[in-house]
Amino acid sequence: MRIAFAGNPNSGKTTMYNALTGRSEKVGNWAGVTIGKNDAPLKSEFSGGKDVIAVDLPGAYSMSPFTPEEGITSEYVREENPDAIVNIVDATNLSRSLFFTTQLLELGVPVVVALNKSDINEKEGTTIDIAKLEEKLGCPVIKTVSTEKSNNGLSEVIEKAISLAGTEQKAPYLQADIDLHDKAQVDAEDRKRFSFVNGIVGEVETRKQLSTEETTSDKVDKVLTNPVAGIIIFAGVMWCVFAISQTYLGTWIADWLVGWIEMFQEWVAGKLESAPPVLQTILADGVVGGVGAVVGFLPLVMVMYFLIALLEDCGYMARVSAVMDPIFKRVGLSGKSVIPIIIGTGCGIPAIMGSRTIRDERERRATAMLTTFIPCGAKIPVIALFAGAFFAGAGWVTFVSYFTGILLIFLGALLVKAVTGYKYRKSFFIMELPKYKAPSLVRAFWSMMERAKAYIIKAATIILVCNLVVQLMQTYNWSFEVVPEGAEDTSILATIASPFAVLLVPLGFGVWQLAAAAITGFIAKENVVGTLAVVYGLTRFIDVEELEMTGGANTVAAAMGLTTVTALAYLFFNLFTPPCFAAIGAMNSEMQSKGWLWSAIGLQLATGYTVAFLVNQIGTLVVEGHLAAGFLPGLIAIAIMVVVIVLISRKIRAGFDEKYELHRKAGQAA
């Protein structure tokens, strides 16, 4: 048996679905969090031992889709014949929600209305006459509070839905037989439907506080969406998130954790003293060291996930969208691009998929293309490693990394705008401002734990295997003999990575070890840290004390042989080159255009290269008074990239001019 969950955006479908199935799909307090269909069996306490699958659908305002994710919902309820529909209705906005309800009631599938967010109504003194609403709609209506742990009405909803499954639903309002292609008829029909809904709402709802009155939340909104104050506040909030997770709290916990990991590594090495050295290095350095280096940064990532979850839960995201819209519009994106970017601080894949809610195709693709410039959770270990090893754990490295990411998004967007040329369609911005709510610490905690678990699994599988492969490739040469000491350059890894290292000379880090680490980073960005740990035999990356003792040149910095300038260049190279393969896959499926995909990869490669080149050359010029090695070849490489971009732009614009001309002529003729 399948029960579909449908309703307006941000009415709490996924929260209810998670409570009923025990899953942990992404939730957030803004419209359009869920962008695809999710399904899972109900927990047995709800299903009563029956085989019931709950299907969570993206929010929709009606059966006729406006955005792609709305289409998923209407298609599912229409084509897939669920056995029952639970229509989640935002009780605080009955007059809008019931429009979709009446459409669902027409399908013939039994509907149970879950009047969600009933707790807010109680607070605001709004009462809804349930019995009357049931009678008017001809279906059961049950008050729910899906954020509540108990006494939330969920089991009643499910019980009703299961008992009604298979019966025939009668519609209180049937659409007249009209020609659906005739706009005027459809319009008139929809008006009739709305007035039917208005009639019901007028009879069942009594409000103490009119929704048009100015509330405290409106006063808060005035500040948060103020073009000046709002942006300053947003910058401050994000700075706090990064500082707490990556400079203060997160680093303290990490420091402690790394000590334990190092002790464990020494213990393993000690136990293996009598074993062959190859086995010893593989286990102690490759497995424990490499994975440990990545896991050591887990606290930073966890603290950040926790804070981001709080932000997503309180309703602030929609305000950020609103305040950033004018700025983003100027560079050819939309305010809706902000949400993917913030999600992108956690992981690039949901960020890329989140761009789906952007209606304009060019804006959507540009967002998917550029959102990964913001460093994701997997890049945090890389940032923290370099901040710790070369900049004494300075917080400004983190800040500069994120700031450069945002800057690159703006510049990239301008470039995309310049390359793709004119815009025909006006780009409107409308976003619902959800009610503020105190973020749930418990939910944020579990969201953090869920992602921490995923992080550990990733470290223990992909990253472990990668480290092992790197270790083996470094230990053996092409005739599968152990590489003798002093001849490290003959190892398999060195010979494969060396040609790439040559390309990186103008960037200041043309050694095969660093090239190898950057390459493994495409599998997963944490691999950069893992591989560096393996090739240089290091683990203790977060180590401020040691740095103080050795006066600036700690073991990590010394082993890598990078100056502060080249270290920054290498960090930026890893941050702003294409993301991991998984994220590239996500880009592919979101963009649905090979041309855009390859342009995105090309742009990201070019950006990473150019940024690292500029940092290295300018930095060296400032610090040492001369340009760094390989200035000319690097400049030539960048010149070639520029020429390619100009050529692509020409080609696109030539096509555009023709089309534009046709457009204009057609307009004149008519």
| 431 touching other proteins, by CB under 8 A | yes
Indicate the angle between helix axes 564-576 and 380-390, nearest 10 degrees. Answer: 180
Q: Tokens at residue 105, please?
A: 């009631």
**Contacting residues for 400 by C-beta, under 8 A, at least 6 apart:** none
| 542 touching other proteins, by CB under 8 A | no
The correct pick among 44, 127, 185, 226 for binding other proteins (CB under 8 A) is 226
Q: Among residues 236 and 276, whose Cβ is nearest to other proteins?
A: 276
Q: Among residues 504 and 603, whose Cβ is nearest to other proteins?
A: 603
For residue 261, the minimal CB distance to other proteins (Å) is: 16
The residue range among 45-53, 112-120, 458-466, 650-658 that interacts with other proteins, by the rule CB under 8 A, is: 458-466
| 295 touching other proteins, by CB under 8 A | no
CA-to-CA separations, 105 to 10, 93, 109, in angstroms, rounded: 20, 18, 7
Q: Which of 471, 547, 564, 569 minimizes the C-alpha distance to 513? A: 471
CA distance from start to end of the chain:
55
Q: Tokens at residue 434, please?
A: 């959800």
| 361 touching other proteins, by CB under 8 A | no
| 191 touching other proteins, by CB under 8 A | yes
Q: Quick one: DSSP state of residue 139? A: S
| 664 touching other proteins, by CB under 8 A | no
Q: Which of 463, 461, 454 minimizes the C-alpha distance to 350? A: 454
Q: Which helix (H) or strand (E) holds 566?
A: helix 564-576
- Inter-residue contact 153 to 145 (CB < 8 Å): yes
The correct pick among 151, 274, 479, 668 for binding other proteins (CB under 8 A) is 274
Instruction: Give residues 393-422 in contact with other proteins (rule: CB under 8 A).
Output: none
The residue range among 147-155, 454-462, 476-484, 639-647 that interacts with other proteins, by the rule CB under 8 A, is: 454-462
Total residues interacting with other proteins, rule: CB under 8 A: 92
Beta bridge partners of 54: 3, 40
The residue range among 33-41, 148-156, 505-513, 617-625 that interacts with other proteins, by the rule CB under 8 A, is: 33-41
| 582 touching other proteins, by CB under 8 A | yes
Sort strands 111-116 and 84-90 into parallel, antiparallel or unpaired: parallel
The correct pick among 15, 21, 29, 38 for binding other proteins (CB under 8 A) is 38
For residue 62, the minimal CB distance to other proteins (Å) is: 4
The correct pick among 45, 66, 188, 598 for binding other proteins (CB under 8 A) is 66
For residue 542, the minimal CB distance to other proteins (Å) is: 21
| 524 touching other proteins, by CB under 8 A | yes
| 547 touching other proteins, by CB under 8 A | no
| 443 touching other proteins, by CB under 8 A | no
Residue with tokens 């749930």: 440
Q: Tokens at residue 63, please?
A: 């059966």
For residue 467, the minimal CB distance to other proteins (Å) is: 11
Sort strands 127-128 and 38-41 into parallel, antiparallel or unpaired: unpaired
The correct pick among 29, 73, 74, 92 for binding other proteins (CB under 8 A) is 92
CA-to-CA separations, 469 to 77, 444, 490, in angstroms, rounded: 48, 36, 16
Q: Among residues 108 and 227, whose Cβ is nearest to other proteins?
A: 227
Instruction: Give residues 372-391 in contact with other proteins (rule: CB under 8 A).
Output: 377
Instruction: Give residues 603-632 in contact with other proteins (rule: CB under 8 A).
Output: none
The correct pick among 2, 96, 132, 653 for binding other proteins (CB under 8 A) is 96
Q: How crowded is residue 111: how many other Cβ atoms within 10 Å of its Cβ?
A: 28
Residues, the chain, total?
A: 670
For residue 389, the minimal CB distance to other proteins (Å) is: 25
Q: Among residues 324 and 569, whose Cβ is nearest to other proteins?
A: 324
| 76 touching other proteins, by CB under 8 A | no
Q: Among residues 286 and 508, whose Cβ is nearest to other proteins?
A: 286
Burial of 625 (0-12, 13-18, 19+ CB in 10 A): exposed
| 37 touching other proteins, by CB under 8 A | yes
The residue range among 163-171, 276-284, 407-415, 543-551 that interacts with other proteins, by the rule CB under 8 A, is: 276-284
| 120 touching other proteins, by CB under 8 A | no
| 78 touching other proteins, by CB under 8 A | no
For residue 57, the minimal CB distance to other proteins (Å) is: 12
d(CA 54, CA 100): 20
Q: Among residues 143 and 160, whose Cβ is nearest to other proteins?
A: 143
Instruction: Give residues 315-344 in contact with other proteins (rule: CB under 8 A).
Output: 318, 321-322, 325-326, 329, 335
Q: What are phi and psi of 90, to 5 degrees?
A: -75, 105
Q: Among residues 138 and 585, whose Cβ is nearest to other proteins?
A: 585
Q: Which of 638, 640, 540 minimizes the C-alpha distance to 259? A: 540
| 523 touching other proteins, by CB under 8 A | yes
| 651 touching other proteins, by CB under 8 A | no
Buried b (16+ CB within 10 A) or exposed e, 208-237: eeeeeeeeeeeeebeebbeeeebbebbeee
Instruction: Give residues 3-32 in contact with other proteins (rule: CB under 8 A).
Output: 23-26
| 43 touching other proteins, by CB under 8 A | no
For residue 589, the minimal CB distance to other proteins (Å) is: 5
For residue 344, the minimal CB distance to other proteins (Å) is: 11
The correct pick among 108, 202, 276, 633 for binding other proteins (CB under 8 A) is 276
Q: Tokens at residue 258, please?
A: 């790394």
Residue with tokens 């062959």: 276
Residue with tokens 């990668």: 466
| 211 touching other proteins, by CB under 8 A | yes
Whether the CA torsion 406, 409, 412, 416 is positive or negative: it is negative
For residue 461, the minimal CB distance to other proteins (Å) is: 5
Q: Tokens at residue 178, please?
A: 């009209």
Whether the CA torsion 214, 216, 221, 227 is positive or negative: it is positive
The correct pick among 171, 253, 449, 462 for binding other proteins (CB under 8 A) is 462
Indicate the angle between helix axes 581-591 and 361-370, nearest 10 degrees. Answer: 180
The correct pick among 584, 611, 612, 628 for binding other proteins (CB under 8 A) is 584
The correct pick among 175, 427, 498, 564 for binding other proteins (CB under 8 A) is 427
Q: Among residues 66 and 396, whose Cβ is nearest to other proteins?
A: 66
- Inter-residue contact 393 to 251 (CB < 8 Å): yes
- Inter-residue contact 42 to 158 (CB < 8 Å): yes
| 269 touching other proteins, by CB under 8 A | no
Mapped onto helix, strand or coil, the DSSP state of residue 59 is: coil
Distance of CA 223 to the CA centre of its chain: 27
